Structure 1
Amino acid sequence: MPELPEVEALALDLKGRLDGRALTRIHVVAFSALKTFDPPVSALEGTMVDDVTRHGKFIDIEASGLHLIFHLARAGWIRWRDEVPALPPKPSMKSPLAVRLVLDDETGLDVTEAGTKKSLAMYVVRRAADVPGIASLGPDPLEESFTPDVLHRILEDAGRSQIKGVLRHQGTIAGIGNAYSDEILHAAKMSPFKPANSLDQVEFDRLFAAIKDELGDAVARSRGLAASELKGEKKSHLAVHGRTGQACPVCGDTVREVSFADSSLQYCPTCQTGGKPLADRRMSRLLK
């Protein structure tokens, strides 16, 4: 799933490619992706792109006062095309193509979604805040306004909620998903199941630094990369996420996993839980 660093870099890449160009045609191939009806998609045709920005994990293409917004969900991505086929795309269950944008020089973008579970969302709105998911976003952790006091209030308000879930909740902190919450907690030497309001001062300081450093470093590495390079860059720098069974790059212990119904988390027992493996209830049931 694209998270804050990849979406930030993707927005920057698209800004350079789209700035000053006109949107001539927009083909919605997967109609389930379109979540709005007013303004219609056709209102964007003939508009000039003014800016491309990010709100949490949302991409916002602003064109002549309208906003074309995408949430890429778990398996979505945006691919640049130096040349767009002359014939418009046809809906197909076998094709990952969801939306195609055609520019005035016949270049364009393909917005795709892999897999069978379709969650990608597209909005055409007059204000970014008209998208419910954007209106409800928590503070952006890379903004200067995200201070220790802000994080402290978030953790206190979360009470005994597990810190992993607090970091991932978009209404609490914008932009952090499954992968970077794993990486942040590993850097902070903290169990993903630790209650949010139970941190002492040393633990709190490590967590705040890890949020800023892990996300900031990932953004710095990704800045300037083309969209096609971002997934590989992310994967190559992960310490624990997606590395179950491999050696922790910090201590050498084996990275472990806890599985849930539709996701999983990864962690290092030595670095994060005092050497004690966390209970994986789904695996425990399978072994009985």
Structure 2
Amino acid sequence: MPELPEVEALRHFLTEHLVGRTITRVLPLAVSALKTYDPPPTALEGRIVGAVGRHGKFLDITAGAPDGDVLHLVTHLARAGWLQWKDPLPAHPPRPGKGPLALRVALDDGSGFDLTEAGTQKRLAVYVVRDPAEVPGVARLGPDPLAEDFDRAALAALLGGERRRVKGVLRDQSVLAGIGNAYSDEILHMARMSPFKLAAKLDEDEITGLYEALRTTLGAAVERSRGTAAGRLKTEKKSGMRVHGRTGEPCPVCGDTIREVSFSDSSLQYCPTCQTGGKPLADRRLSRLLK
């Protein structure tokens, strides 16, 4: 799933390729992806792209009409969605219902992009709105963890009332915008913290360590991804992971074997030596968690 660093890199890439271009055609090909119908996606045609923004994991393409009317094409790529840049776009229009293609946007210079989604669980979401706050997922977002005004005190305030495990808090978009399963694993590994430690019980030093790990991990991932073409961002994300997705491999810090805890629809990875005092966490599917 694309998370904050990848969506931020997509924002930079699209800013360079979209801003100033006129949208000539919008082809919705998967009804399941469209979450709004008024205005319709075709209302974007003839508008000039003025900016590309990001709200957590949401991309926001702003397109204006000559009369000053502005619309936003807001997209959430979900778990299996992706944006594929085409320069040029194929000459023949795609056929609805064929393959993973959900939406195509064509520009006045012959280029454009496709929104695609692999697999059978269709969660990719596309909205055409006059204000991004009309998108429920955007409206409920917590603060951006890389915002200039997001300091240690802000993180401490968010954690103070949380009686959940810190892994779940980091992934909750209403608490912090943009962090998902992968980067929460990476942040907690850098902070040398168990994913199942209760957020409200973190002491002052642990909060400081978590804040520094959060800013460092996300900041480094954004810089590493900046300038990367859209088609290579998935590979770039995977190559930068130290523990996530690396079950059975040696920890790059201490050399211990990276372990995994599986859930019904996801899993987490961690290093016992770095994060849990050398004690493996039991798989939740089989027994109670060890703290």
TM-score category by the smaller chain? Answer: over 0.9
- Confirm whether residue 193 of structure 1 aligns to residue 196 of structure 2: yes
Aligned residue in 1 for 2:83: 78
Partner residue, 1:3: 3
Cα distance in 1, alignment partners of residues 227 and 283 from structure 2: 39
Tell me, what secondary structure is at the counterpart of 2:161? helix
Aligned match of 1:89: 94
Q: Per-residue deviation at 1:144? A: 1.2
Q: 2:255 & 2:131 partners in 1: Cα distance?
A: 49
1:5-38 per-residue CA deviation (whole Å, 9 max, x = no partner) reads: 0000001001100110011111111111000011
The DSSP-based 3-state class of the residue aligned with 2:102 is strand
Deviation at 1:39, TM superposition (A): 1.1
* Corresponding residue number in structure 2 for 1:239: 242
Equivalent residue, structure 1, for 2:139 = 135
Q: Extract unaligned runs of 5+ from structure 1.
A: none
Give the drift of 1:268.
Answer: 0.3
Residue 228 of structure 1 deviates from its aligned partner by: 1.4
CA distance in 2, matches of 1:148, 1:106: 46
Decide whether the 8 Å contact of 1:166 with 1:172 is kept in 2.
Answer: yes
List aligned pairs for 1:14-93, cutoff 5 A: 14-64=14-64, 65-92=70-97
Deviation at 1:66, TM superposition (A): 0.6
For residues 86 and 13 of structure 1, what CA distance do their matches in structure 2 show? 23
Per the TM alignment, residue 86 of structure 1 is displaced from its structure 2 partner at its CA by: 3.0
Tell me whether 1:215 sits opposite 2:218 in the alignment: yes
Q: Is the 8 A contact 1:49 1:61 kept in 2?
A: yes
Residue in 1 that maps onto 2:269 = 266
CA RMSD of aligned residues (A): 1.1
Farther-moved stretch of structure 1 (194-203 vs 175-184): 194-203
DSSP 3-state at the match of 1:85: coil
Q: Secondary structure at the match of 1:164?
A: helix
Distance, in Å, in 1 between the alignment partners of 2:23 and 2:223 is 30
Look up the SS of the partner of 2:188 in the other structure: helix
Structure 2 residue 129 is matched with structure 1 residue 125: yes
Q: Contact between 1:137 and 1:174, CA under 8 Å: does it hold in 2?
A: yes
Aligned counterparts of 1:214 and 1:248: Cα–Cα separation in 2 = 16
Which residue matches 1:154?
A: 158
State whether residues 259 and 283 of structure 1, in contact with CA within 8 Å, keep that contact through their aligned partners in structure 2. no
Alignment of 1:103 onto 2:104: no
Instruction: Tell me if the contact between 2:191 and 2:213 (Cα under 8 Å) persists in the aligned partners.
Output: yes
Counterpart in the other structure of 2:120 = 116
| 8 Å Cα contact 2:22/2:107 also seen in 1 | yes
Work out whether 1:248 is the aligned partner of 2:264: no
Percent identical residues? 64
> Aligned partners of 2:81, 2:11: CA distance in 1, in Å?
14
Does structure 1 retain, via aligned residues, the 8 Å contact 2:193–2:276?
Answer: yes
Deviations 1:96-143 (A, max 9, x none): 111000111121101111111110000000011111110110000000
Give the drift of 1:283: 4.6
Which amino acid is 2:49 matched to?
V
In 2, distance between residues paired with 1:186 and 1:243? 13
* Structure 2 gaps, min length 5: 65-69
Tell me the secondary structure at the aligned position of residue 121 of structure 2.
coil
SS in structure 1 of the partner of residue 157 of structure 2:
helix
On the 8 A contact 1:83/1:107 being kept in 2, the answer is: yes
Q: Tell whether the 8 Å contact from 1:81 to 1:108 is kept in structure 2 after alignment.
A: yes
How many residues were matched structurally?
283
Q: Measure the CA separation in 2 of the matches of 1:226 and 1:120.
A: 21
Determine the C-alpha separation between the residues in 1 that align with 2:73 and 2:89: 19
* TM-aligned CA deviation for residue 231 of structure 1: 1.2
In 2, Cα distance between the equivalents of 1:217 and 1:169? 21
Q: Report the alpha carbon displacement of residue 281 of structure 1 after superposing the two structures with TM.
A: 2.5
Report the Cα offset of residue 147 of structure 1.
1.2
**Contact 2:87 / 2:112 at 8 angstroms: preserved in 1?**
yes
Q: Give me the whole-angstrom Cα distance separating, in 2, the residues matched to 1:179 and 1:223.
A: 18
CA distance in 1, matches of 2:280, 2:58: 35
The offset of 1:55, in angstroms, is 0.5
Report the residue type matching 2:193 in the other structure: M
SS for the counterpart of 1:213 is: helix
* Aligned counterparts of 2:114 and 2:156: Cα–Cα separation in 1: 41
